[in-house]
Structure 1
Amino acid sequence: MLDASDIRLLMLHFLAQNDAHGYELIKSIEELSKGEYSPSPGIIYPNLTLLEEMDAIRVVDAQASRKAYTLNEAGRALLAEQQAHIQHLTERLASLAVLVNNRSIPDVDQAIYRMRTALNSRLSQENISTEALEQIVDALNSAAEKIANS
């Protein structure tokens, strides 16, 4: 969903607001998308190391059991330079939160379930004719068009 440079910018964005541990950064990104996207520790921790090597962040207390990070001047400069892109990233993740809210409306959730069940049931049959497959594709394309234009 996001590449490593996007993740680094989001990490800097959240560190500009508060010092944080890696886990807190994961949770901040996850919270922005209402749980629809959560970066893995395998993405966050190597990028924390890279940002530290780039002198964009530093450890707040090297003696602490969990490393909390804070922004350095280089990190602030990078944030200022990439502000428009950061806004785009945060809006993109926030739109996932809207998706989660709308998809959880009971009628919408039920309709999605019925569509998925019907489609999986029909496509799991071994000898579907070419005509039947064409009808399924037409029905899906028609539904997609109606949804897009509603």
Structure 2
Amino acid sequence: MKPLHRSRRLGLIAAAAVILGGAAWLVFAALEQNISYFYTPSKAQAESIEPGARIRLGGMVVEGSLAHGEGLEITFRVTDGEATLPVTYAGIVPDLFREGQGMIAQGSFNADGVFVAETILAKHDENYIPKELQGISHDAGSSTYTPPTD
């Protein structure tokens, strides 16, 4: 027969493990709803991303693709050297946002396959480029593409 204090201690340890496991599950479930994965245009085309799924799309703004619509709405195309996707955004763009420069947009695809950006981030200096986009020429119109190294 086991001593009473040993059984009580084992019960407390089991209860603590169940509580910690439940808390960890709740944290991961909450984080899953707020995670936005990073995609390049070619990766986004290869994956079957559901319309409305929140992601980050990064690449170079294609030269000659930036068009201003009504109010603060703009449309442009973004490329990674292999694929090009249309993007629309309504809002004030960062000062450094322009054609031929790197950018990351957070938003989702609509039913027509157009990426609807909620926020846009532009590179902050001449040396910045996201790790996933290293090897892409700053000339967004060029067809040279070197896959990123891990």
Q: TM-score, normalised by structure 1?
A: 0.21
Higher strand share: 2
**Structure with greater helix percent:** 1
The structure having more radius of gyration, on CA atoms, is 2
User: Greater relative contact order (Cα 8 A, min sep 6): structure 1 or 2?
Assistant: 1
TM-score by length of 2: 0.21
